[in-house]
């Protein structure tokens, strides 16, 4: 857990004192804290003490305060009227001005700020654990649904009377797969190492994109957007990590998000010199040339995209570029300078994402 302390703080169990941002640990304390029995006896006592100000055997002030039933100790301090000047000053010779005196009021403010910070950290850790548990359960039950559905699908294929069930089974399968994509999107965004958790498998990029298109068709139709696919020849298979399935979802999700109502998204497949070329073209907010160099950076959103919608964190194209690098796919983005449409003060032009895949 990350921590933020303005004053030196003693770590219970670690037998060490960590520098504060405003006040660092004096050399004397740094050298003696771990091996000096008088120091260790003092901190063992502080770990069980009531909240308040105390003085260590060498004259420094120690302040004990409680956070969620545990004692925290600010130490190595010169709190006005609460330290032994005679004992302490010889031990601060050669130290800088950062060992100035602080008032009791300032000390309490620092303690309250640290308490608030740590309480929020604890809340975050508990929330993160809760989300991790939910994701685990969602994945588990999603997998069970897929297995049950596969059994239903196989039985339905054996009798034409069950064509309706067969269609329903296909829809369930696609929805489960789409849910897997959404979960993977979260995982790869916040832990890129998961992208290489598996070995490479055989994939067909046309089939993956067609599947994604089916998954997000409802969203596209809600904006009157049509997704068209065209291929000059049958696409050959490729070797890639499992994260490749997320790539077309990220690109088409972006295209739908930024396309005006009633537009089209075109996906062209062609093979050139043992490389599969995929070009996704859609209408989107104009991206000036100066912004294109940054558009795949994590957290970056173009000026016009930001004006159009607040829905976005600038991670879609970044994650897509990471997936491409991992799978040796060349990716490029291009925004035409010719303005095709102007809606509500936003200029639109053709936006292209090209992929070159080694076969």
Q: Are 18 and 8 in contact (CB under 8 A)?
A: yes
Grouping H, G, I as helix, E, B as strand and the rest as coil, residue 197 is coil
Are 262 and 224 in contact by the 8 Å Cβ rule? The answer is yes
Q: Is residue 182 part of a domain?
A: no
Instruction: Domain of residue 269: give its range.
Output: 200-358
What totals of helices (H) and strands (E) does the chain contain, helices first? Answer: 11, 13
For residues 189 and 250, the answer to whether their CB atoms sit within 8 Å is no
Give the per-residue pLDDT at 208.
Answer: 93
Same domain, 95 and 212: no
Q: What's the structural domain count of the chain? A: 2
10, 73 in Cβ contact below 8 A?
yes
The DSSP annotation for 277-301 comes to EEEEEEEEE---HHHHTTTTSTT--
Q: Does residue 253 lie in a domain region? A: yes
Where are any strands of DSSP class E within 194-336?
A: 201-203, 226-231, 238-240, 264-272, 275-285, 329-335
Is 340 within the bounds of a domain?
yes
> Considering the domain boundaries, does residue 169 fall inside one?
no
On whether both 349 and 237 belong to a single domain, the answer is: yes
pLDDT score, position 181: 75
Whether the full predicted model's pTM is greater than 0.75, yes or no, is no
Whether 77 and 218 share a structural domain: no
Of 102, 125, 149, the position where a domain reaches its end is: 102
Look at residues 183, 84, 95 and name the one whose alpha carbon lies nearest to residue 139: 183
Give the number of other Cβ atoms within 10 Å of residue 348's Cβ: 23
Residue 153 included in any domain: no
Report d(CA 41, CA 295) in Å as an integer: 57
CA distance 254 to 308: 13
Same domain, 64 and 207: no
Contact 6/77 with Cβ under 8 angstroms? no
Q: Which residues contact 84 (CB under 8 A, 6 or more apart)?
A: 55, 59
Region class of 211: left (phi > 0), else alpha (psi between -120 and 50), else beta: alpha
pLDDT tens for the 359 residues of the chain, in order: 456 788 999 877 667 888 888 888 888 888 888 888 999 899 999 999 999 999 999 999 999 999 988 899 999 998 988 888 888 777 777 666 556 788 999 999 999 999 999 888 888 888 788 777 777 777 777 787 778 778 777 777 777 777 777 777 777 777 777 777 777 777 777 676 777 667 889 999 999 999 889 888 888 999 999 999 999 888 999 999 888 988 999 999 999 999 999 999 999 999 988 899 999 999 999 999 999 989 999 888 888 888 888 777 788 898 899 899 989 999 999 999 999 999 888 999 999 999 999 98
- Among 102, 133, 155, the domain boundary falls at 102
Strand ordering across the sheet containing 16-18:
16-18, 9-11, 70-77, 61-67, 52-55
- Residue 139 within a domain: no
CATH code for the domain in which residue 248 is found: 3.30.565.10
What's the confidence (pLDDT) of residue 95?
67
pLDDT at residue 86 in the model: 86
In a domain, 84, yes or no: yes
| Residues paired with residue 353 on neighbouring β-strands, in sequence order | 280, 333
151 Cβ neighbours under 8 A, 6+ residues apart: none
223 plus 92 within the same structural domain: no
Q: Are residues 87 and 209 in the same domain?
A: no
Residue 108 burial (CB count, 10 A): 12
**What distance in Å separates the CA atoms of residue 54 and residue 220, rounded to the nearest whole number?**
66
* Residue where a domain stops, chosen among 102, 122, 151: 102
Cβ atoms within 10 Å, residue 315: 19
Residue 191 counted as domain residue = no
């Amino acid at each position: 857990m990350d921590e933020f302390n303005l004053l030196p703080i003693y770590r219970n169990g670690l037998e060490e004192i960590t520098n504060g941002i405003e006040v660092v640990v004096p050399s004397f304390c740094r050298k003696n804290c771990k091996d000096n029995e008088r120091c260790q006896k003092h901190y063992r006592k502080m770990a069980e003490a009531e909240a308040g100000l105390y003085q260590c055997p060498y004259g420094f002030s120690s302040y004990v305060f409680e956070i969620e039933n545990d004692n925290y100790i600010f130490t190595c301090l010169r709190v006005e009227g609460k330290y032994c000047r005679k004992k302490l000053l010889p031990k601060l010779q050669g130290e800088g001005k950062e060992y100035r005196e602080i008032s009791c009021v300032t000390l309490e403010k620092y303690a309250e700020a640290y308490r608030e910070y740590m309480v929020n950290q604890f809340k975050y850790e508990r929330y993160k654990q809760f989300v991790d548990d939910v994701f685990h359960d969602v994945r588990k039950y999603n997998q069970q649904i897929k297995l049950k559905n596969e059994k239903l699908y196989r039985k339905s294929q054996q009798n034409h009377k069950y064509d309706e069930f067969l269609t329903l089974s296909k829809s369930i399968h696609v929805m489960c797969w789409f849910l897997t994509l959404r979960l993977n999107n979260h995982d790869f965004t916040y832990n890129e190492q998961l992208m290489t958790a598996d070995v490479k498998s055989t994939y067909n990029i046309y089939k993956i994109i067609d599947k994604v298109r089916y998954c997000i068709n409802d969203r596209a139709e809600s904006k009157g957007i049509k997704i068209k696919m065209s291929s000059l020849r049958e696409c050959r298979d490729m070797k890639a990590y499992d994260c490749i399935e997320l790539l077309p979802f990220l690109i088409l999700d972006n295209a739908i998000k930024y396309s005006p109502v009633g537009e089209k998204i075109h996906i062209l497949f062609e093979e050139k010199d043992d490389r599969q070329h995929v070009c996704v073209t859609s209408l989107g907010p104009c991206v000036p040339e100066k912004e294109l160099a940054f558009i795949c950076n994590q957290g970056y959103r173009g000026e016009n995209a930001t004006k159009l919608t607040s829905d976005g964190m600038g991670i879609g194209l970044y994650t897509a570029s990471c997936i491409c690098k991992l799978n040796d796919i060349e990716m490029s983005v291009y925004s035409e300078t010719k303005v095709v449409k102007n809606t509500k003060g936003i200029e639109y032009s053709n936006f292209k994402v090209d992929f070159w895949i080694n076969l």
